[in-house]
Structure 1
Amino acid sequence: MRLNKYLSEAGFCSRREADRLIGEGRVTVNGVRARIGAELGEEDVVAIDGQTVARRAAAAPHKRRHVYIAYHKPVGITCTTEQDVKGNIIEAIGHEQRIFPIGRLDKDSEGLILLTSNGDIVNEILRAENSKEKEYLVGVNKDVSPEFLRGMARGGIPMHGTKTLPCKVSKLGPVGFRIVLTQGLNRQIRLMCAHFGYRVKRLFRSRIVNIQIGHLKPGQWRNLTDAELRGLLPNRSEW
């Protein structure tokens, strides 16, 4: 098994994050600094910053191997696993198991975010080509015009070395709109709005794929249901 897969299955972090930690020299195998792409044997001992990372025990039949939760992130919480960051999402939730966020919401944004102990699914959910929808309700600083809505929906806005994809946009009120994205570019909606001379005053994520925020209040979380997991991860062996 590759080292980054081992760390993700242990619930420590995603594979991408594991490669970053390995590259920084923070991961050892049998006391020796590990290299990216390293393969592990059954008896190898893995540690991060000197702390041993144990293998996850096999789950009983029809039992979940991993944690999957929906969290209503309030404004002011930062989507990082770094414990020394004030207001980090892991400390805010206080879950008994090691979990990490799937994607992120800006510190100034609020709403639904998923967290898991299963690092193998993170890239699958986040990749734009998998067309995983994310729905947002947005308030801006001036009247929403038809031209603005058409421009947002059309796509093609330069951003982070790429361009935005076409998306679904509809008006909610004089200064509000709903937008459904399949991309996850950093501060995408804020930058899209700025491109047309608008400033975001409130950004709320209400849905990820088939999972709705529902009645979760800010700061509350819940476990995903089996039906929600089937929509997110049809292959039950990944649960």
Structure 2
Amino acid sequence: MRGERLDKLLARLGLGSRKEVARLVRAGRVRVAGEAVRDPGFHVPEGVPVEVDGKPLALRRHHHILLHKPAGYVTSRTEEPSVYVLLSGFPTRDLFPVGRLDKDTEGLLLFTTDGELLHRLTHPRHKVEKRYLVHLERPATEEDRRAFAEGLILEGERLLPAALSWGEDPTWVELVLREGRFHQVKRMFQARGNRVVYLKRLALGLLELGDLPLGEARPLTPEEEGALYQGVGLFTECSQGT
């Protein structure tokens, strides 16, 4: 067995895209079995230790990728244009989206290989908060704020309480939900006689979109990963083996 290409291995372990890890290798920052390797195409035999900047590489059981989704992409593998084309260089085969964003919605979209984490982040029982920036056709009102806080009744079913806030311009609001139903944000404002013009997800639990450029993706930091797991009552799923 020739083993796995070094650049593919590093990208699979979440150290960056294939291009990014190739630069890291060529800079001489990676050692295989104690020897510096500058060829990204070098095949690493199974079980051979790999170091990055002098530190042993921890092989992760799961991978978590944060994408700043642009409008125009579908949260699907089978429909086009798919958000998966924006994850070039990452191990997309086993990555699944944590919830979905509509085609015309921008913002934070998390992918994970951990099915239990995905379940807990999306199940209503765990009430993981999702924060959105919303541009409305007409200004939001205090009546809207109260209705959302009490738990809006949508198609005969009461939703969990939601927090609605705004600054000087009440056509630009932030909405915090603790559940994720189909087209929920748009349907909530539609039920209040308003229309969503623009929608962007800013946060999922303690995970913030931050300054990640539109259309780009990155692995979670260990701190972000730990916060996500702790937030839903799980331990961080990292180990020294696959």
TM-score (norm 2): 0.68
The amino acid of 1:120's aligned partner reads: E
Partner of 1:223: 219
User: Shift of residue 73 of structure 1?
Assistant: 0.4
User: Shift of residue 92 of structure 1?
Assistant: 2.6
Is the Cα contact below 8 Å between 1:77 and 1:92 reproduced in 2?
A: no
Give the secondary-structure state (helix, strand or coil) at the position aligned to 2:160.
Answer: coil
Is the Cα contact below 8 Å between 2:86 and 2:216 reproduced in 1?
A: no
Unpaired segments ≥5 residues, structure 2: 1-46, 48-55
Give the secondary-structure state (helix, strand or coil) at the position aligned to 2:65.
Answer: strand
Partner of 2:161: 166
Give the secondary-structure state (helix, strand or coil) at the position aligned to 1:80.
Answer: coil
Separation in structure 2 between the aligned mates of residue 163 and residue 80 of structure 1, nearest angstrom: 29
Separation in structure 2 between the aligned mates of residue 72 and residue 178 of structure 1, nearest angstrom: 18
Is the Cα contact below 8 Å between 1:81 and 1:100 reproduced in 2?
A: no
Separation in structure 2 between the aligned mates of residue 210 and residue 237 of structure 1, nearest angstrom: 15
Seq. identity, %: 32
User: Shift of residue 61 of structure 1?
Assistant: 9.2
Give the secondary-structure state (helix, strand or coil) at the position aligned to 2:182.
Answer: coil
Q: Which has the larger radius of gyration?
A: 2
Alpha-carbon spacing, 1:237–1:148, altered in 2? closer, same or farther (3 Å): closer
Partner of 1:201: 197
Separation in structure 2 between the aligned mates of residue 96 and residue 71 of structure 1, nearest angstrom: 11
Separation in structure 1 between the aligned mates of residue 180 and residue 228 of structure 2, nearest angstrom: 16
Partner of 2:103: 107
Alpha-carbon spacing, 1:211–1:158, altered in 2? closer, same or farther (3 Å): same
Separation in structure 2 between the aligned mates of residue 237 and residue 177 of structure 1, nearest angstrom: 34
User: Shift of residue 216 of structure 1?
Assistant: 0.9
- Render the CA deviation track for 1:187-219: whole Å, top value 9, x for unaligned: 001000000100000111101111110111110
Separation in structure 1 between the aligned mates of residue 87 and residue 195 of structure 2, nearest angstrom: 30
Choose which of 56, 59, 63 in structure 2 pairs with 1:63: 59
- The reply to whether residue 94 of structure 1 matches residue 93 of structure 2 is no
Separation in structure 2 between the aligned mates of residue 64 and residue 181 of structure 1, nearest angstrom: 31
The amino acid of 2:237's aligned partner reads: E
Partner of 2:172: 176
User: Shift of residue 236 of structure 1?
Assistant: 3.5
Unpaired segments ≥5 residues, structure 1: 1-56
- Render the CA deviation track for 1:9-51: whole Å, top value 9, x for unaligned: xxxxxxxxxxxxxxxxxxxxxxxxxxxxxxxxxxxxxxxxxxx
Is the Cα contact below 8 Å between 1:141 and 1:198 reproduced in 2?
A: yes
Q: Paired residues, what number?
A: 178
User: Shift of residue 124 of structure 1?
Assistant: 1.0
User: Shift of residue 96 of structure 1?
Assistant: 3.6
Separation in structure 2 between the aligned mates of residue 90 and residue 165 of structure 1, nearest angstrom: 31
Partner of 2:139: 143
Write out aligned runs for 1:121-140 (5 A): 121-140=117-136
Give the secondary-structure state (helix, strand or coil) at the position aligned to 1:233.
Answer: helix
TM-score (norm 1): 0.69
